[in-house]
Amino acid sequence: MLGKATSGFIAAGVMLGLLAAPAAQAAGYVSGSFSVVGGFDCGGCYGPGDDHIVSHLVTLEAANPGKASAGNGSFAGINGVDVTPTRAIDLGSPPVLLGQFDFGGFTLLITGTDSVDRGPLTCAGGGCQDSLRFRLWGEVSGVGYLPTRVAGIWTGQGSCLGRDGICTSDPSASWSASLSAVPLPEPAGLALLGCGLLGVGVLTRRRARRAGITRAALD
């Protein structure tokens, strides 16, 4: 027979487990998405005679700063704010250093990249362009928020005057990125939720067994 103390203990565990995930989210996971646009400081880096601008880059040092736009969710208030690159994005796998951007009270760490697509310099009508695109992911944090996974796409484009795949003028380059927070429950929250669901199963089975015994006694 299930005692009152045991029943109360299981009920408490059930409630704790079921409330764990909502409580974790209420503590402040970052939500939403935003975009950012910026430029490169190409002065002295490339020049006439080069056959690439951004397509061969392995370390991305942006001009300081970029500008945030199209923010929603937790990022709703960052439209137009500066996005300051504290550390460059390293396209190595794994990266030697983590990329870092600071903006509107948030800090974004770029911990990895893949799916790198390098578009070679092509020329037409006296102008040339090349491109660089990749997927990135990392972690975003801010005051009042728990560290939250973030993922997105980064795209860069270079241009210059030129012909036959060669620049004949100093180039210019710009980049943009679209990133989204990916809130995930904490492992502790998931463990408590699992304990709660297990408690529900145990309590249900014991109540069913007690009901069966009672019916048998009445018969």
Q: Would you state the pLDDT for residue 158?
A: 94
Q: Would you state the pLDDT for residue 15?
A: 40
Q: Would you state the pLDDT for residue 127?
A: 97
User: In the beta sheet, which residues pair with residue 62?
Assistant: 40
Q: Would you state the pLDDT for residue 218?
A: 46
User: Where do we find the tokens 């500008």?
Assistant: 67
Q: Which of 10, 100, 93, 23 is nearest to 64 (CA)?
A: 100
Q: Would you state the pLDDT for residue 212?
A: 55
Whole-Å CA distances, 80 to 65, 75, 144: 11, 11, 22
pTM of the model: 0.72
d(CA 209, CA 153): 55
Whole-Å CA distances, 137 to 86, 145, 164, 179, 182: 17, 18, 36, 9, 10
DSSP notation for 39-108: EB--TTT--TT-S-SSTT-SEE-B-S-EEEES--GGGTT-TT-EEEEEEPEE-SSS-SS-EEEEETTEEE
Tens-level pLDDT at each residue, the chain (219 residues): 444 444 444 444 434 343 444 444 445 899 999 999 999 876 556 678 899 999 999 999 888 899 999 999 999 999 999 999 999 999 988 899 899 999 999 999 999 999 999 999 999 999 999 999 999 999 999 999 999 999 999 999 999 999 999 999 989 999 999 999 998 765 544 454 455 445 545 455 665 565 554 455 545
Q: Would you state the pLDDT for residue 42?
A: 61
Q: Would you state the pLDDT for residue 209?
A: 61
Tokens encoding 111: 């911990």
Q: Would you state the pLDDT for residue 4?
A: 46
- Compute the residue count for the chain: 219
Whole-Å CA distances, 11 to 6, 27, 200: 9, 24, 8
